[in-house]
Amino acid sequence: MKNALHFKRLSSDDPCLQITWNGKPLDAVAGETVAACLLANSVLAFQGEDLSDPPRGPFCMMGACYTCRVLVNGVEQQACMVEVKQDMHVSCVDPEKEILHAGS
């Protein structure tokens, strides 16, 4: 069911922003969270997609379960607690890259 439509935006809200997910452009709506935006674009797994771990997706949407963590412009955040902004770069948490980032 990976590519089926899982979430639909209520029709009154039209996409009007752009963000990127692992470098790919995605449509976003002002006011929605990063987690919602990814889900609306059929991204269900936020972690572990390419790693050996089984994939993990968001679960609680209220900042409690921590399985929605992503890098937002290079800083690790809970995707369900951050609103989308124009040109935001969102990507999978990659511990290796992250520690290098942190050094700069």
Partner 1 sequence: MREVDLAVLGAGPAGMRAALTAANSGAKVVLLDEQQVAGGQIYREVNRQGVGRGALLGRDYTHGLTWVKEVAASNVEHLAEATGWQIENSGEITFSRGGQAQQIAAKRIVLATGALERAFPFPGWTMPGVISAGAAQILLKGSGIVPQKAVLVGSGPLLYLIAVQLLAAGSPPLAILETQSFESYLRSARLFPAALKGWRYFVKGTQMLLNLKRAGVTRYTGVSEIAAVGEKYVEGIRFQFRGQKKQLACGLILGHQGVVPNVQFSRALGLEHGWNDLQRSFTPRTDHWGRSSEERVFIAGDGAGIVGARASALQGEICALQVLHDLSFINTAQRDNTAESRRKELAVELAPRALLDALYRPPDWAVVPVCDDTIICRCERVKTGDLRNLAAGACVGPNQAKALSRAGMGSCQGRYCGLSVSELFSKTNGRSLAEVGYYRLRSPVKGITLGELASLAVGEALE
Partner 2 sequence: MDFEYAIIGGGVVGLSIARGLSARGKRVAVFDGEDTDYRASRGNFGLIWVQSKGLQAPAYARWTRQSAALWRGFADELEAASGIDLALVQQGGWDFFFSEKSLHARASLYQGLADQLGERDDFEITDANKLKREEPAIGPQVVGALYGARDGHVNPLRLLQALGQTLQRSDSKYLTGCIVQSVRALASGFEINTANGPVRAQKVVLAAGLGAAILGPSLGFVAPVRPQRGQVIVTQKLSPFIRRPSGIIRQVDEGGVQIGDSNEEVGFDDSQQLSVMAKLAQRAVKVYPVLANASIVRSWSALRIMSPDGLPIYQESRLYPGAYLATCHSGITLAAAHTCLLPSWLEGEESAPRLEAFSEERFAL
Tokens of 12: 């009154």
Give residue 43's identity as a one-letter amino acid code.
Answer: V
Rule CB under 8 A: say whether 54 interacts with partner 2. Answer: no
Give residue 39's identity as a one-letter amino acid code.
Answer: L
Nearest residue (CB) to ligand FES, 7 versus 103: 7
Q: Which residue of 59, 74, 83, 102 would you call a contact of ligand FES, by CB under 6 A?
A: 59
**Who's near 24: CB < 8 A, 6+ residues apart?**
none
DSSP bridge partners of 27: 18
Q: How far is the CB of 5 from ligand FES (least distance, A)?
A: 20
Residue 64 gets which letter from DSSP?
S
- Cβ pair 73, 95 in contact under 8 A: no
Rule CB under 8 A: say whether 103 interacts with partner 2. Answer: yes
For ligand FES (CB under 6 A), the number of binding residues is 13
3-class DSSP assignment, residue 18: strand
Q: Which residue of 60, 75, 87, 97 would you call a contact of ligand FES, by CB under 6 A?
A: 60
Rounded Cα distance between 18 and 57, Å, is 22
Query: Which residues are at the interface with ligand FES (CB under 6 A)?
Result: 35, 58-61, 63-68, 78, 80
Query: Which residues are at the interface with partner 1 (CB under 8 A)?
Result: 1-2, 4-10, 12-13, 29, 31-33, 35-37, 39-40, 44-46, 54-67, 69, 75, 78, 80-81, 83
